[in-house]
Amino acid sequence: MPATPDKTFRSAVQSRSVAITAELALKRETTPDDIRTQARSLAPWVDGIQISDNPWAWTQMSSVAAASLLLDEGVDPLPILTCRDRNRIALTSDLLGLRALGARSIMLMRGHRVPRNHPLPAATVFDLSGRELIALAAELNEDETGKAGDRLFLGTGARAFRPNAGWRADSLKDRAAAGAEFLQTQLCFNLDLLQDYLSCLVDLKVTWDYSVIVSLTPLPSLETAQWIREHYSDAKIPAAVMQQLEDAQDQRKEGIEICAGLMREMAALPGIAGINLMTTGDTDALIEAIRLSGVRED
């Protein structure tokens, strides 16, 4: 039987301290032993491990299977499910499967279309919208056939930006009404922009409905940062960060230090409940950034 996690993402974001999650590095060729190794390395440093859902439409191990392996290691999984590749039946099946395995939190998102001229020919599904997927999961949470402990903590994605005076966060409010309880931003290295966004969320009382998680990553090189800027149109990496990487003799070390410094500053911002570190494939860099930040004392 899977071990019950000693600590969970849900309890961490609802505590006074800042929750920390990290993303599992997954490739098509990732083995169960690879996942176990990552889980054992990350476990002392995080409150949960996120599992991506075939990003950029590249196939990898399913988030349901990866979640099962993490649970076997006593680590709380935070799988992501998107609407791109599944219809209502498949999404319901995966939600029921994750609940049965013992997953306690999940990110639910619409997802991006399969890119044009993608090497893997595949249709985009989008049977449900992101809000409809959240509502589906919330309905399953109220299913009388489920046990009280099986309730999933539901999350959604958000784009940090500088809101104009007329912005009322209607989409976020709609998703909260559908059942979402935490939101996670895209990669954001722009602290000023993030402060403006959070201030607006607080003023609009959006933080009454959501725990807010911010995404970062220890950038390993200027080349990687440039790739992210090109392919992640919503990613916020200021020119100053790009220059720091370009000027550094050791770009990997510089990327870790930039990430750690921002983690310290973000942990002190009102309205932030947690920080998620996305992976570029270097699990040791994630751990080093958390250690260097001082945010996680243990």
Q: 154 in a domain, yes or no? A: yes
Residue of 280, 275, 239 lying closest to 260 (CA atoms):
275
Q: How confident is the prediction for the chain on average, in pLDDT?
A: 93
Could you give the CA distance from residue 110 to residue 186 in angstroms, rounded to a whole number? 14
Q: 2 in a domain, yes or no? A: no
Q: Which positions ≥6 away from 90 have C-beta within 8 Å?
A: none
Could you give the CA distance from residue 165 to residue 230 in angstroms, rounded to a whole number? 29
| SS3 call for 292 | helix
Residue with tokens 């279309």: 113
Q: 153 in a domain, yes or no? A: yes
- Least confident range from 96-110, 114-128, 234-248: namely 114-128
Alpha helices by DSSP H, listed for 44-149, are 63-72, 88-101, 130-141
pLDDT, one tens digit per residue, over 7-66 is 799 999 988 789 999 999 999 999 999 999 999 999 999 999 999 999 877 899 999 999
Q: What is the CATH number of the domain that holds 287?
A: 3.20.20.220
Share of the chain above pLDDT 90, in %: 83
Structural domain that includes position 174? 9-293
The model carries a pTM of: 0.94
Count of structural domains, the chain: 1
Q: 298 in a domain, yes or no? A: no
Q: 3 in a domain, yes or no? A: no
| SS3 call for 168 | coil
